[in-house]
Structure 1
Amino acid sequence: MFSLRLPFVALCLALLPLATLAQAPEPLAPVLMTEWKAVYGQIDTRDRISARARIGGTLLSLTVTEGDSVRAGQVLAEIVDDKLTFQLGAIDAQIEALGAQLANAQDELTRGEALLERGVITAQSLDAIRTQADVVKNQVAAARANRRVVAQQASEGKVLAPVAGRVLSVPVTRDSVLMPGEPVVLIGGGGAFLRLAVPERFVSVLSEGATIHIETPSGPATGTLAKIYPLIENGRVIADVEVAALSDSFVNTRVLVRLPVGVRKALLVPSASVQTVSGLDFVTLSEGEARVRRAVVLGGVLEHDGAEMVEVLTGLRAGDTLAAPREQTHDN
């Protein structure tokens, strides 16, 4: 019987240091915590470009409305100027008349060359006929070039999307009379980003590349502070935040953003070490061989080093030692 008890006693003695180590108290030390500033940002598009009328005229057709997605080069609307149609008709008639004159001049040139060979006319007269034919030929070329100019103007009645994106605004309606350069469709393209207006007192603590916490319409997300603009307007600094897969369904949507504006020291204890008795929070400390239960005022719950911790605002100080979990008292 004595030989069976000896290995058991040896095993208990071997495990005793491990149990003592697991129960060893740990002194509290301040932890650096990031201070966050809550501000509102607006979802915006990188580019806001107006598709403009290149000619004046009447808006004949409009194929898009607010919220539509468009691709670069897509026809959004068509403007018609009846004067251009009349000009094309007049130029076509002029080209036809000049063509008849050119045919007559070429016939005259052919006859003049034949008469020169027979000695009926002089070379000077033939040069005059050839010059007249060249003049008419150049007039035909000029008329055709003029027609191409007017035809190009008529083709510019098609309003094209300058970039791919989403239609934000359509300030005109069908049958509206437009002037050259007037906006027809406002397009937001280039993807979405978040624009912030931060109070200028936080300029010194903002830095490009900082991680930003965001409450988007689809849930919490993180972004990167991409750019801080140097111009301060109305006491606020404009900054842009890059957010992956940010939806541009609703431009100018306001979302809550938390900015890192500094660091502070805080005392953190595991959430399991806090006991609530009669509405008061207590933490059990180890002071030598004794256990002391001390009332504390708690802050927020957060995750630190993968564990759920709670901040202690008052009641503890650096160097205090938490009692091991199984040493804590559970009496009410």
Structure 2
Amino acid sequence: MRILAIIFAALTASTPGAAETLTVMPGTIVEWKAVYGQVETRNRVPARARIGGTVTQLDVAEGDRVEAGGRIAMVEDDKLVFQLASIDAQISALSAQIETARADLERGQQLIERGVITTQRLDQLQTTVDVLQGQERSLQSERQVNERLIVEGEILAPEAGVVLSVPISRGSVVAPGEAAAVIGGGGVFLRLAIPERHALTLAEGDEIELGAGASGVASERRTGRLVKLYPQIEGGRVQADVEVEGLDSRFVGQRLPVRLPIGERLAILVPAKALTRLAGLDFVTVESSHDGARRRAVVPGGTVTRDGIVWREILSGLSAGDQVVIEDE
């Protein structure tokens, strides 16, 4: 009975002292959808082996920073060394044959002046020299190919970034084209998976709000910008990328709470300081030309911050045109 008496007194009491009035009008508020975003690097590129062989050196580990063109690992193939030795032996043998053929050609040129040999024989000696020189050039080219293959045993970073994974180890046998490491570069962003029913309400350039705890400080409000919406829908979800200034890039794959603007609606808003709470109920003071200022019970909803002022949505108890009294603090 005492509680009911207090509530009745609160409902019938007038507001003491000077106060400010606000005419209630429906305002537009943004509807938000809570999802999780995942920290991702802009580019994720594998560093691949160019030749097959055995990994003899591994220069990076997960989390290392690499520059574009930096060495990731070294792959060696013993067969290339043996082929190089075989080519060198063939070139050496050809060099000896070429020297002999050139000496025969010089003698032939001297003998043809004396009329001892025919022109046909001299042409045969010249052809022999040309053929042997051609074979030597072919072997030299083959040798350069093998030297290049040995050089390509170095696995290089395709771009600057952080090493995300290293699926090989020293002593592993790799095939040409096999990934030795995955490099993440180009900065970091938040990648979202948005339900397809909300895809049409979003557009590139929209402001995205990070949820509490996303920035490491619960009270800090941070926003990002939607920079890319992917056209392909997979599993009923659309992927989108959000740029956030100062996003922590230490942990790729970290999940952060995000709020997406998915629409707008009309609502009745009053400053949060216009509400008072008594005996478990929320009241606002309404000014009436007939009854004066009286408290009215309302059902409040969520809060909206605009220009640094906290507003409270009123779900029931007020209508457009009501004069709400805001007491001076």
What is the TM-score of this pair, normalised by structure 2? Answer: 0.87
Task: Work out the CA distance in 1 between the residues paired with 2:307 and 2:244.
Answer: 25
Residue in structure 1 matched with residue 276 of structure 2 by the alignment? 275
Q: Which runs of 5+ in 2 are unaligned?
A: 1-17
* Residue 62 of structure 1 pairs with residue 58 of structure 2: yes
Classify the secondary structure of the residue corresponding to 2:252.
coil
Query: Offset of 1:74 from its aligned partner?
Result: 0.7
Residue in structure 1 matched with residue 227 of structure 2 by the alignment? 226
- Structure scoring higher RCO (CA < 8 A, sep ≥ 6) equals 2
Task: Answer yes or no: is the 8 Å Cα contact 2:228–2:241 preserved in 1.
Answer: yes
1:170-319 equivalences in 2 (<5 Å): 170-215=166-211, 216-219=214-217, 220-288=221-289, 290-319=292-321
User: Deviations 1:222-271 (Å, cap 9, x if unpaired)?
Assistant: 22222222322222222222223433321221111101011111222223
Amino acid at match of 2:267: A
Q: Indicate which of 136, 145, 149 corresponds to 2:145.
A: 149
Query: Offset of 1:23 from its aligned partner?
Result: 6.3
Task: Work out the CA distance in 2 between the residues paired with 1:63 and 1:177.
Answer: 16
Classify the secondary structure of the residue corresponding to 2:133.
helix
Task: Work out the CA distance in 1 between the residues paired with 2:216 and 2:105.
Answer: 82
Task: Work out the CA distance in 1 between the residues paired with 2:149 and 2:205.
Answer: 48
Task: Work out the CA distance in 1 between the residues paired with 2:314 and 2:271.
Answer: 10
Q: Which runs of 5+ in 1 are unaligned?
A: 1-21
1:74-85 equivalences in 2 (<5 Å): 74-85=70-81
User: Deviations 1:191-247 (Å, cap 9, x if unpaired)?
Assistant: 222211112221232222211112435454322222222322222222222223433
Task: Work out the CA distance in 2 between the residues paired with 1:25 and 1:51.
Answer: 67
Report the RMSD for the aligned CA atoms in angstroms. 2.0
Q: Indicate which of 71, 90, 93 corresponds to 2:89.
A: 93
Task: Work out the CA distance in 1 between the residues paired with 2:126 and 2:230.
Answer: 70
Task: Work out the CA distance in 2 between the residues paired with 1:228 and 1:72.
Answer: 28
Query: Offset of 1:301 from its aligned partner?
Result: 3.2
Amino acid at match of 2:325: A
Query: Offset of 1:101 from its aligned partner?
Result: 1.1
Amino acid at match of 2:306: H
Task: Work out the CA distance in 1 between the residues paired with 2:195 and 2:305.
Answer: 28
Query: Offset of 1:324 from its aligned partner?
Result: 5.2
Task: Answer yes or no: is the 8 Å Cα contact 2:285–2:295 preserved in 1.
Answer: yes
Task: Work out the CA distance in 2 between the residues paired with 1:295 and 1:314.
Answer: 9
Task: Answer yes or no: is the 8 Å Cα contact 2:38–2:190 preserved in 1.
Answer: yes
Query: Offset of 1:309 from its aligned partner?
Result: 2.1
Task: Work out the CA distance in 2 between the residues paired with 1:247 and 1:197.
Answer: 20
Amino acid at match of 1:293: R
Equivalenced residue count is 306
Amino acid at match of 2:257: L
Query: Offset of 1:146 from its aligned partner?
Result: 0.5
* Residue 107 of structure 1 pairs with residue 108 of structure 2: no
Task: Work out the CA distance in 2 between the residues paired with 1:218 and 1:210.
Answer: 23
Over 3 Å counting, the alpha-carbon distance change for 1:317 and 1:147 in structure 2 is same
Over 3 Å counting, the alpha-carbon distance change for 1:73 and 1:99 in structure 2 is same
Over 3 Å counting, the alpha-carbon distance change for 1:72 and 1:273 in structure 2 is same
